């Protein structure tokens, strides 16, 4: 068993190769490297360029998930109730386990930090008898609950291992049921590949960003209804940016047909740059996108498509940070009403400011790295 002897420890980060799971851990990787640790990051081969930019060493493996750059890479249908996701994570565990084990055979880490759906990681940590730290990019599981990485063919999450939760506590579903081993550090941002710059058009038009994220983005009908909603909101007063994603097909923007001149459509946009100018963000409710919107103080209209997006949508509505339009009620009329109510709510600005302050105080990458180093030293973080 490797022994931690202070700064310069070998810390292995592990995640399934999906943007929503890798991206939140990149900021932690960079912070640990800056503190003098040797960091390796095991995930799918095609995420290696992102990992290397943090200063960590990429440990790639051949994944069961489609390439992150492949057109039509969506790996789950929008109507999945979670069971297909569980099957996918279990399959990934069985494929990744032997590859990652072999990659570390002659270079065991002092500690393993793993995304909570990465089933092979806890198995390896226990095989190597090294400390483990969980990393949750979305809602933490309540005490006694089980997640998609628990079950036959995967590693069981530890009930005692510390868990870093990369979002503010106020956004957590049923936060009072989450154990003290969880530390809510807020977003752990990192400069994403090709982040780029975006500038609004000339004039005083308000800016709306519409994106369904990187997984559940095949709803061409939803994008069309969003355009219709803003058209009836007096489209001349808005500039609408549509990010269709790869999942809607290589010709995703073309599928929308002819659009008004005040609509800008791309497969991908530099989201952080657009949000810096946005007046409203229509999002599927993926945790990463929601946190980016909140970090910029942008009110949200959440159009949840699947899984945890519905839980996040409930919290956004409960906190008064925007409105929710369920899948079966997405029409130009309901979207128009939700946008109008969101941008005219006089109290929403103050509530957004409070969440931004909470996220800043939570500590981000610094607080997350503190949890990791406390575990290296055999200490138990206080949690918050």
Sequence ranges of the domains in the chain: 10-186+363-376, 206-359
**The pLDDT of residue 156:** 56
For residue 111, the cross-strand partners are: 11
Q: Residue 182: which H helix or E strand, with range?
A: strand 182-184
> Which structure tokens are listed for 323?
């409105």
CA distances from 46 to 103, 246, 322, 351, 379 (A): 16, 16, 35, 39, 35
The stretches in the chain having pLDDT less than 70 are 1-7, 67-84, 144-159, 192-195, 214-218, 234-236, 246-254, 379-384
**The pLDDT of residue 71:** 45
How big is the CA angle at 265 (ends 197 and 46), to the nearest 5 degrees? Answer: 65
**Contact status, residue 199 vs residue 166, Cβ threshold 8 Å:** no
**The pLDDT of residue 290:** 96
For residue 243, the cross-strand partners are: 211, 266
**The pLDDT of residue 196:** 73
**The pLDDT of residue 72:** 45
Do the domains at 10-186+363-376 and 206-359 have one common CATH topology?
yes
Q: How many CA atoms lie within 13 A of 277 on its CB side?
A: 21
**The pLDDT of residue 330:** 95
Whole-structure pTM value: 0.87
Domain 10-186+363-376 homologous superfamily, CATH: Glycogen Phosphorylase B; (3.40.50.2000)
Strands 10-14 and 38-44: parallel
144 Cβ contact partners less than 8 Å away, ≥ 6 residues apart: none
**The pLDDT of residue 380:** 55
- Chain centroid to CA 70: how far? 19
**The pLDDT of residue 152:** 36
For 83-118, how does the pLDDT look when each residue is reduced to its tens digit (9 = 90+)?
667 788 899 999 999 999 999 999 999 999 999 999
**The pLDDT of residue 249:** 45
CATH fold of the domain at 206-359: Rossmann fold (3.40.50)
> Which structure tokens are listed for 273?
């740059």
**Contact status, residue 362 vs residue 383, Cβ threshold 8 Å:** no
């Amino acid at each position: 068993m490797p022994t931690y002897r202070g700064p310069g420890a070998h810390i292995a980060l592990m995640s399934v190769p999906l943007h929503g799971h890798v991206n939140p851990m990149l900021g932690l990787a960079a912070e640990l490297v800056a503190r003098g640790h040797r960091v390796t990051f095991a995930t799918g081969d095609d995420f290696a360029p992102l990992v290397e930019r943090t200063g960590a060493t990429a440990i790639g493996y051949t994944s069961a998930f489609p390439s992150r750059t492949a057109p039509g890479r969506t790996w789950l249908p929008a109507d999945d109730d979670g069971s297909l996701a569980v099957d996918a994570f279990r399959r990934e565990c069985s494929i990744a386990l032997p590859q990652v084990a072999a990659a570390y055979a002659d270079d065991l880490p002092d500690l393993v930090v793993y995304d909570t759906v990465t089933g092979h990681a806890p198995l390896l940590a226990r095989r190597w008898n090294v400390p483990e730290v969980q990393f949750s990019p979305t809602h933490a599981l309540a005490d006694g609950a089980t997640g998609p990485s628990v079950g036959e063919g995967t590693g069981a999450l530890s009930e005692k291992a510390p868990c870093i939760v990369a979002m503010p506590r106020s956004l957590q579903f049923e936060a009072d049921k989450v154990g003290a081993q969880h530390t809510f550090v807020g977003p752990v941002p990192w400069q994403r590949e090709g982040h780029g710059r975006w500038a609004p058009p000339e004039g005083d038009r308000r800016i709306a960003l519409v994106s369904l994220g990187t997984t559940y983005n095949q709803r061409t009908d939803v994008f069309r209804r969003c355009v219709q909603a803003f058209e009836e909101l007096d489209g001349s007063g808005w500039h609408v940016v549509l990010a269709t994603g790869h999942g809607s097909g290589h010709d995703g923007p073309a599928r929308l047909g002819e659009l008004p001149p005040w609509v800008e459509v791309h497969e991908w946009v530099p989201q952080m740059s657009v949000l810096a100018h946005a007046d409203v963000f229509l999002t599927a409710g993926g945790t990463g996108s929601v946190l980016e919107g909140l970090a910029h103080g942008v009110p949200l209209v959440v159009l949840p498509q699947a899984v945890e997006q519905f839980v996040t949508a409930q919290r956004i509505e409960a906190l008064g940070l925007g409105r929710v339009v369920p899948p079966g009620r997405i029409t130009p009329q309901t979207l128009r009403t939700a946008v109008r109510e969101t941008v005219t709510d006089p109290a929403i600005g103050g509530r957004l400011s409070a969440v931004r302050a909470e996220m800043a105080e939570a500590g981000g990458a610094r607080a997350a790295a503190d949890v990791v180093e406390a575990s290296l030293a055999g200490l138990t973080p206080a949690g918050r």
